Structure formats: structure tokens, C-alpha cells
Structure 1
Amino acid sequence: MKPIYEPIIQDANTSFKVESYNAESKCDTAGWHIHPEFEIVYVKNGAGVLKIGSKTYDYENGVLVFLAGNIPHSDFGNNEKKDSEEIVVQFSKEFVHDKLALFPEFTRVNNLIQKSRQVIIFEQSIKGELYNNFDDFKTLDNQGKLINFLSILDRLSKSDAYETLFDTINLSRFKKNEIWRLEEAFEYVNNNYHKNISIAKISLQLGFTTNSFCRFFKKMTKRTFIDFVNEFRVGKAVQFFNENNSTVSDVMYKSGFNDRSYFTRQFKRYQGVTPSNYLKLRYGQLAI
């Protein structure tokens, strides 16, 4: 079964993404999916099954797993315990190549990141030791989160208390060219969501005709390219609203929409409320 491509949208002014879930606010399931970002998942407790590439791995009492990008996998968490908790950290290859690689002091961390292509599952002793670090993400500001994340990577890079799910780094037979093209399509949207996005231009850039690109994108993601762009833009709109009490019109243009009624329909489709009501719920007043 071909995995569904999952776009990872970072908050503005951040280098990586952190999300926390519990039994009441569980992660929306993505099913069998793939994304280019590296991922560290901390599951506090409960039993479950990791399904990664061609392998499965049964865990008890939670799990701490680190896997590289472009490895198909299912969701890791479980809802067995009322106090279940899952913390997910995701970061891009640019974070590794453009930031961590600049510092020779991070050699051990970079080696760990390369090792994640084999999928690293850490022992319970390390998982228990790092619980407070993962839990701290919920209360830290962006600067504190980055320092905390580097501390976690430092500790993991010094540990040999782990096993790898794969003996080699050749994890999948999924077509690399298809994954690369999908990554390029996502990067194009990420860099141009605030502009007029041309399907003809991105198709030409990736070596497709317009119709063949649309078929390719639908085959890989189970959705149309326009649907993907609209949801991405709505996600950006939510980020802009959350940063400050901006007007609907300002956020509409910043996130790439040009028509007020169309923006309202798409926002309600993906968020369940209109932009004005979202602002009212968040800030207690309407903004126009």
C-alpha cells in the first residue's frame, strides 16, 4: 500500500515542530504515511505496535523512537492508559544541514541523526531519564524549546542503550524519484503559499504536464493539489491569528487568499469555525 504524504507545518519563527497529545487530545491519525522530516516520538506508557517500513515492533510501557525522513510508518501512540501521553518532535533536513552541521561540536549528534535512518528504539532507562525534558516542551518558550531539544539530542547521542529496527539503511523500495517530486511540490507551496500558485509552473518545474502532475499528486496524497494548498494556507492563517490579534483581512492576504468569502469557506471547512468566530473565541472580540 502506498503511504499518504503528510505535510508537516511548523509555526512561524521556529526551527522544528513539537506537539503533545494525551488521551483527551489525541493526535489526528494519518494512517500509513510518509514525510521528509526526521521524527522523535516519546510515548509515556501503554502497549502498542510500531509499524515502520517493512517491520513491526511490539512495545510495552511506552517507547522512545527516532526515525529519519521518508520512511513510511503508521501512528505510534496508544490510548490504553487514561494518563497516556505522546510528545512528537519533527525537524527538517535543512535544520540538520544548515544549522547543526555548522558546529563541529555536534559531530556526535549528527552521527546519531544519520543512524536514525535505521530507526533507533531506545531502552526504557533512557526513556525514563528523559521524561522531564520531553514534558518541559509544554511550558517552554521557543528559545527554551530549542535549548531543551539540543539537550535531548546531546543525551541520546551519548547513549548506546538502544537497538535499531533495520540492520542497513536501505529501508524501502518506494520510488525515490516520486518521493523527491512530492517533497519538491511541498517545498514549492511552503515557499510560495502567500503568492499566486501556478499549477502549470510547478508542473513544468517537476517535469510534468499539468494533467499528469494533478494525477501524480492525487495518487500520492489521496487528495487534490488545490485541497492541499487551501489547507496549508488555512494552517498558516491560524498561525498568524495565534501570533497576534490581526484583522481577518490582513491574515487573509498574508496566507495567500484574495477573496474574503472563499477564505471564510475554506477556513470553516478545515477549522470548523469562520475566521471572525475563531478570533472571537481566542481573543474575546471580533476583528474585521
Structure 2
Amino acid sequence: MSNTAKRITPEYEIADGSVETIRYLEHGYPSDLIRWHAHDDYELHFIVDTSGKVFVGDYIGNYSAGQLILTGPRLPHNWVCQNDQAPVKVRDMLIRFDHESFSNGMKIIPELAEILPMLSRAKSGIEFFDIDLEKLKKVFHSVRDSSGLERIIKALPLLQELAQTPNYRLLSTVQIDLKSNESLQRKINTVVDHVTQNYSQDISLSSAASLVNMSDSHFSRFFKKATGNRFIEFVNRVRISRACSLLTETDQQIASICFQVGFNNVANFNRRFHELKGVTPRDFRAQSNAHMETSASHA
């Protein structure tokens, strides 16, 4: 694809007007493509570099190189790098396709129906585990470097494998269908970025609403519809996600972590942590340590 043929669409995707069943895109960091957004396609994201926070619907978690996630149509998503992350040439490799291509194709090739259950699950976002990363990278490279029928032939075995694997989890607890226009998506992106950069500070709904020039009540309804979370729930999820990283990667005291991620008392921190993770911070750390010891013994 020549540079002169490329254009930037309203959703910041690179397109040249051609119609393809399987489309490929990659970008580095920083990039205009890194933003809270939703679109009509399925996207299989393979993160090959950087680490930070991943947002899929109402799910908020950590990401690092090697993560593989399938997002469904109109399900909002974003990967936000850590603030100290150095620029990289390729951060995200992704394969895109739409539902109509497969639903129409099934009328001629009924075997394509094998991936339908996976596509249904993708409405919530799917994270896949126990993937052979070297093999996965080769598949994405082969899809990138091919076109036409050859690209379909390269991509279909991967989709079949993922449709059959039991090693996955669903991410978003609500199936958000974000139909908001580009302007509203930019507003959400502004707030998401603000929270991820300032979660350790006091962040009020009013201050977030003022960032995007909305009244408190309007912003509250808008944010819940767009993200599946009430604003304070969203802030708490970001904070708890960061706390999980600190509990796993450091030996800092739990009380210290509590204040570091933006909570103002330990009791509230413990309560919110248990609500989201089902265990106390202390038990979460113990489970993480046990898991790492088990993994090391099998290495």
C-alpha cells in the first residue's frame, strides 16, 4: 500500500478504500490510534511491546507484551502505556474482520460456523492464554505480508485454533455497544487518560465533568453508558488494578500501597479490593507469590 493511497478515517484506522475479508494493521507508541474507541469490526490484538493498562468495556487490567485479546463490534477498548514507556516502532499487531463476511460465507462454506461461538463471546472481549508466542508472531507476520486469498488462508487456522481453545477468559461484565459519535469518544478518551495518569490524586466526578464541558448529571449518565462503570467505580478499578501490580511486584506494606494508589483509608481500600477481586489484598499477594513459585518450579 503506497503512502499516497492511505487516508485517515474518522476512527483513526488506516484504509485505502479496498474491500478485504481479513485486514491487518499495526502501530507503535506513541500513536493517534491509542485512544478509547469502538468500531464495527472484530479486532484480534497481539501486544508485542510495552506494558500498562488495558480497557475493554467495563474491564480494567494490566497488560504486557504477549497479550492476545479479541474485541467484538462496538465494544470500546484501549491500551494505555505506562507514563515512563519509551517510544517503540511496533506495539500492537492486529487482525480485523467484520461479522457480515463470515455470516455470508457460512451460507457457502458451512464449516465457518465453527468460529461463531467465539464471535458471540467476543461481545464481552476475550483474553487468550497459553499461546505459543513465537508461532503467534509468525502468523501475524504472514498475515501482514500477504493479501487476497492467501491472507485468508493464513488467518483462518489461527481463528479456528482460538475458537477451539479452552484457555481464555471473558473480560467485560457488560456487553457495551458504543454507538456514540467521534466527538463523544474523544471526550471519554480525555477522561480515561486523565484518570490513568492521576489515579493517585483526588479525582472527583465534578472535576472530570469539567474536563469535557459537561454538567455533573449529564457526564454521570454519559460515562456509565459509554464504559459500563459509574465514574467512581471506574476510578476505583484503575486504582485496584495498580494495587495488584504493586502487590505482585513489590514487598511494600499494604497500607503504603493503599495510599499510593489514591485511597485515603485502609478499610475502604480493603473493602473495594475485595469487591473487585474476591479476596483481600493480603490473600491476593499470597496467591500471586504461590503462583510465581509454582511457575518457577516448572520452568
Q: TM-score, normalised by structure 1?
A: 0.52
Whole-angstrom CA distance in 2 between matches of 1:148 and 1:233: 35
**Deviation larger for 264-273 or 202-211:** 202-211
Residues 242, 148 of structure 1: alpha-carbon distance in 2 compared, 3 angstrom cutoff: farther
Alignment partner, residue 136 of structure 1: 132
Give, in angstroms, the shift of residue 188 of structure 1: 1.2
Cα 1:196–1:76 change in 2 (3 A) is: closer
Asked whether the 8 Å contact 1:203–1:209 carries over to 2, the reply is yes
Change in CA separation of 1:273 and 1:39 when aligned onto 2, cut-off 3 Å: farther
C-alpha displacement of 1:283: 3.3
Q: Quick one: which amino acid aligns to residue 280 of structure 2?
A: T
Matches within 5 A, 1:261-280: 261-280=267-286
Taking the TM superposition and a 5 Å limit, the aligned residue runs for 1:96-107 are none
Q: Which amino acid aligns with 2:128?
A: I
Aligned to 1:218: 224
- Rounded Cα–Cα distance in structure 2 between residues aligned with 1:251 and 1:202: 24
Match of 1:162 among 151, 158, 162: 151
Kindly provide the CA deviation profile for residues 83-119 of structure 1, in whole angstroms up to 9, marking residues without a partner as x. Answer: xxx738xxxxxxxxxxxxxxxxxxxxxxxxxxxxxxx
Cross-structure match for 2:252? 246
Q: CA deviation at 1:178?
A: 1.6
Task: Please report how far the alpha carbon of residue 275 of structure 1 lies from its aligned counterpart in structure 2 after TM superposition.
Answer: 0.8
Task: Indicate how the Cα distance of structure 1 residues 219 and 240 shifts in structure 2: closer, same or farther if over 3 A, else same.
Answer: same
2:229 is paired with a residue whose SS is coil
Which residue identity lines up with residue 229 of structure 1 in the other structure? V
1:74 has 2:102 as partner: no
Deviations 1:228-272 (A, max 9, x none): 111121111111112133321222122221210000000000011
Distance in structure 1 (CA, Å) of the matches to 2:257 and 2:76: 30
Unaligned segments of structure 2, at least 5 residues: 1-37, 40-55, 80-91, 107-111, 156-177, 291-299
Task: Provide closer, same or farther for how the CA distance between residues 76 and 33 of structure 1 changes in structure 2, counting only shifts above 3 A.
Answer: closer
Instruction: Tell whether the 8 Å contact from 2:220 to 2:231 is kept in structure 1 after alignment.
Output: yes
Counting matched residue pairs gives 188
Secondary structure, counterpart of 2:123 in structure 1: coil
| TM-fit CA distance, 1:208 | 1.0
Where does residue 184 of structure 2 map in the other structure? 178
Matched, 1:18 2:18: no
CA RMSD of aligned residues (A): 4.2
Summarize the Cα distance change of 1:252–1:210 in structure 2 as closer, same or farther, 3 Å threshold: same
2:131 alignment partner, SS class: helix
SS at match of 1:162: helix
Measured after TM superposition, the shift of residue 183 of structure 1 is 1.6
| Alignment partner of 1:87 out of 115, 128, 136 | 128
* Unaligned segments of structure 1, at least 5 residues: 21-26, 43-49, 66-72, 78-85, 89-133, 138-146, 165-171
Distance 1:152 1:255 in 2: 39
* 1:56-96 residue CA offsets vs partner (Å, 9 max, x unmatched): 64535659x9xxxxxxx62576xxxxxxxx738xxxxxxxx
CA distance in 1, matches of 2:279, 2:207: 33
State how far apart, in whole Å, the 1-side matches of 2:62 and 2:236 are: 16
Aligned-partner residue type, residue 62 of structure 2 = Q
Q: Aligned AA for 2:57?
A: Y
Shift of 1:226: 0.3
Write out per-residue CA displacement over residues 158-186 of structure 1, whole angstroms, 9 at most, x where no aligned residue. 1222359xxxxxxx964111212112211
1:32-52 Cα offsets, whole Å, 9 max, x none, are: 62224577479xxxxxxx875
Distance (Å, rounded) in 1 between the aligned partners of 2:202 and 2:132: 40
Deviation at 1:206, TM superposition (A): 0.9
After TM superposition, give the deviation of residue 202 of structure 1 in Å: 1.9
CA contact (8 A) 1:249 1:260 kept: yes
Distance 2:72 2:230 in 1: 17
Q: Distance in 1 between matches of 2:136 and 2:200?
A: 30
